Amino acid sequence: MRKPLSLRMQLLLRLTLPLTFVVILDTAVSYYVALHYSNVAYDRWLLDSVRSLAQEVKAQRDGVSFDLPPTAVEMFRWDDMDKTFFKVESTRVGFLAGDSAVPNPPDLALLKTEPYYFDSEVQGTKVRVVSMLMAPTATSEEVLVEVAETVNKRYSMINDILLAVVVPQLLLVLVTGFHIWTGINRGLRPLHNLTREIAQRSPRDLTPIHDALVPLEVLSLTHTINNLLNRLASAMVAQQRFIENAAHQLRTPLAGLKVQAERALRIDDLPAMRPALTSIKSSADRVAHLSSQLLVLARSENAEGHRLLQPVNLQVLAKECCIEWVPRALEKDIELDFDAPQAPIPVAGDATLLKEMLNNLLDNAVRYGKPDGRITVQLLSGVRPALIVEDDGQGIPSAELDKVFERFYRIPGSQGDGCGLGLSIVKEIADLHAARVGLSSAGVGQGLRVEVVF
Ligand SMILES: Nc1ncnc2c1ncn2[C@@H]1O[C@H](COP(=O)(O)OP(=O)(O)OP(=O)(O)O)[C@@H](O)[C@H]1O
Ligand SMILES: [Mg+2]
């Protein structure tokens, strides 16, 4: 996997790359602007030189002549930075004076109206040339006068201009980069402190993170972590309470089991031993029931959300369950009705857990229902399939409706030896299936209706 770029590097790149690009662009533009202005300035000097040479071209009776004393030529050529060349040429007789190496303009027609400037080379050195065509009066011939000059002065001027423009800009980029670097270091320090604080914590320490010193942008992160820690803390408290309750619930029947076993051991004849053995069996039943309830609860709690849910046909599942419960219902002369549409009722679910849910509802209905009564298991299809279990027993007083979902809660005086986990299991499994559990009782003695809507 690609290593993520550090925030520091990202910011640095995002700011300095465009800045550097702008500097490069600006340098290129400045170069052409400087070149243009140095040409404008030095071309004017060159033109002056051409004009003063042109004044030395004299019309004679037999043609034109050009006569410049050597001292004047020396004066003309003198320059401490550049070399100057000139050439005077007649269209009729050709070369008259100067340096024959100075190149002619590409086309004489170009200088009919005004002087012509161009870049060329003399003796392998770059030069700027200005050419002028003059027609002295009294002759029919034209004279080309040219001055060429190497470009050292021009480049030196361009360099000066570029230095003045680019150096401050480069400095700006460097200073910006440096400030980003140090600024981010300073800005990230609280995050490093936060990391250290979290790393040094003991796993049991779920107190909120101290977030007074973190930057505003990180505050929402610390709030989220603190929220999570809060929820973890309450989950741990609930877990702890649950373990204590479970231990207590297990200890009582196990202690009973031990006492009854010791009692049985002291008795010699079998008939006298029977009451103790009966107690042992009921204690063992209780422990077995409790541990099975605890295991189902643990399973439904640890099922990983919606990922394990498969399409389940609720109709078949409920029917099978009801058939299994018929013998237990008959023991109490209870009539068990199953009322469901013929068509499959598909829900996304965990079949084993859904069965456990219905088992617990039927267990309650049989256990707390009226002897000789009737239990109805009803299924509703549609966009929101529903499972309804209704009995005609004592029902649950409305004040207790909320409490019965608490783990290990039993309504005082409840018959049988349940452990108060059945409805918590139902709730847990319903939550896992994003289903809603509703309890309703028409009144005391009117039975209980449990509705699970998917
Ligand atoms: N169908 C019902 N009719 C009347 N009371 C009920 C019914 N179902 C549950 N209750 C009451 O709600 C309480 C909680 O029920 P729950 O199923 O959670 O626990 P339990 O039946 O006592 O134990 P467990 O189901 O774990 O063996 C019961 O003690 C009982 O008093
Ligand atoms: Mg129960």
pLDDT digits (tens, 9 = 90+) for 182-210: 888 888 888 888 888 889 988 888 888 88
Second CATH level (architecture) for the domain 7-160: 2-Layer Sandwich (3.30)
Distance 98 CA to ligand 1 centre (A): 123
Q: Which ligand is nearest to the CA of 426?
A: 1
How many whole angstroms from its chain centre is CA 407?
A: 40
| 213 pLDDT more than 80 | no
| Pair 34, 166: CB distance under 8 Å | no
The ranges assigned to domains in the chain are 7-160, 217-302, 307-453
- Ligand closest to 289 (CA) is 1
pLDDT at 398: 86
- Calpha distance 79→136 (Å, rounded): 30
Assign 305 a pLDDT band (cuts: 50, 70, 90): low
Nearest CA to ligand 1 atom 13: 410
Please provide the CATH number assigned to the domain covering 217-302.
Answer: 1.10.287.130
Locate the ligand 1 atom nearest the alpha carbon of residue 423 and give its number.
18
Tally the C-alpha atoms within 13 A of residue 61's C-alpha that lie toward its C-beta: 0
Contact (CB, 8 A) for 433 and 354: yes
Residue 395's nearest CA partner among 418, 417, 411, 416 is 411
pLDDT of 362 > 70? The answer is: yes
Instruction: Please tell me the distance between residue 420's alpha carbon and the centre of ligand 2 in angstroms.
Output: 6
Tokens 């399409």, residue located = 311
Nearest ligand to the C-alpha atom of residue 401: 1
> pLDDT class for 304, splitting at 50, 70, 90?
low
- Centre a 10 Å sphere on the Cβ of residue 147 and count the other Cβ atoms it contains: 28
Q: Distance between CA atoms of 364 and 447, rounded to whole angstroms?
A: 11
pLDDT at 443 exceeding the cut of 70: no
Q: Give distance in angstroms: CA of 330 to centre of ligand 2.
A: 18
CA angle 402, 404, 407 (to 5 degrees): 115
Q: Are strands 374-380 and 335-339 parallel, antiparallel or unpaired?
A: parallel
Q: What's the CATH fold of domain 307-453?
A: Heat Shock Protein 90 (3.30.565)
Mean pLDDT confidence for 269-291 = 89
* Mutational pocket test of ligand 1: of 407, 423, 449, 450, the residue with most ligand atoms within 8 Å of the beta carbon: 423
Instruction: Categorize the per-residue pLDDT at 306 as very low, low, confident or very high, splitting at 50, 70 and 90.
Output: low
Residue 268 tokens read as 């010699």
337 C-alpha to ligand 2 centroid (Å): 20
Pairing of strands 386-390, 449-453: antiparallel
Residues 346, 385: Cα–Cα separation, whole Å? 8
Which of 359, 361, 364, when mutated, tests ligand 1's pocket best, judged by the most ligand atoms within 8 Å of its CB? 364
How many other CB atoms sit within 10 Å of the CB of residue 13? 12
Asked if residues 416 and 289 have their Cβ atoms less than 8 Å apart, the reply is no
| Whether 136 contacts 143, CB under 8 Å | yes
pLDDT digits (tens, 9 = 90+) for 387-418: 999 999 989 988 888 899 998 899 998 888 88
Lowest-confidence segment of 97-106, 209-218, 334-343, 375-384 by average pLDDT: 209-218
**CA-to-CA distance for 330 and 336, rounded, in angstroms?**
8
Where does ligand 1 bind, in terms of residues with CB under 6 Å? 293, 360, 363-365, 368, 391, 393-396, 404, 410-411, 414, 418-424, 448
Q: Measured in angstroms, how far is the CA atom of residue 403 from the centroid of ligand 2? A: 13
**Which pLDDT score is estimated for 425?**
93
Instruction: Give residue 184 CA to ligand 1 midpoint distance, Å.
Output: 61
> pTM value?
0.60
Q: Whose CA is nearest to atom 8 of ligand 1?
A: 364
CA of 421 to the centre of ligand 2 (A): 7
Q: What string of H, E and C letters represents the secondary structure of the chain? A: CCCCCCHHHHHHHHHHHHHHHHHHHHHHHHHHHHHHHHHHHHHHHHHHHHHHHHCCEEEECCEEEECCCHHHHHHHHCCCCCCEEEEEEECCCEEEEECCCCCCCCCHHHHCCCCEEEEEEECCEEEEEEEEEECCCCCCCCEEEEEEEECHHHHHHHHHHHHHHHHHHHHHHHHHHHHHHHHHHHHHHHHHHHHHHHHHCCCCCCCCCCCCCCCHHHHHHHHHHHHHHHHHHHHHHHHHHHHHHHHHHHHHHHHHHHHHHHHHHHCCCHHHHHHHHHHHHHHHHHHHHHHHHHHHHHHHHHCCHHHHCEEEEHHHHHHHHHHHHHHHHHHCCCEEEEECCCCCCEEEECHHHHHHHHHHHHHHHHHHCCCCCEEEEEEECCCCCEEEEECCCCCCCHHHCCHHHCCCCCCCCCCCCCCCCHHHHHHHHHHHCCCEEEEECCCCCCCCEEEEEC
What residues does the ion ligand 2 have nearby, CB within 5 Å?
364, 418, 422
Q: Is the pLDDT of residue 215 over 80?
A: no
Mean per-residue pLDDT for 69-88? 89
pLDDT band (50, 70, 90) for residue 338: very high
pLDDT exceeds 60 at position 382: yes
Local confidence band at 446 (pLDDT 50, 70, 90 cut-offs): confident
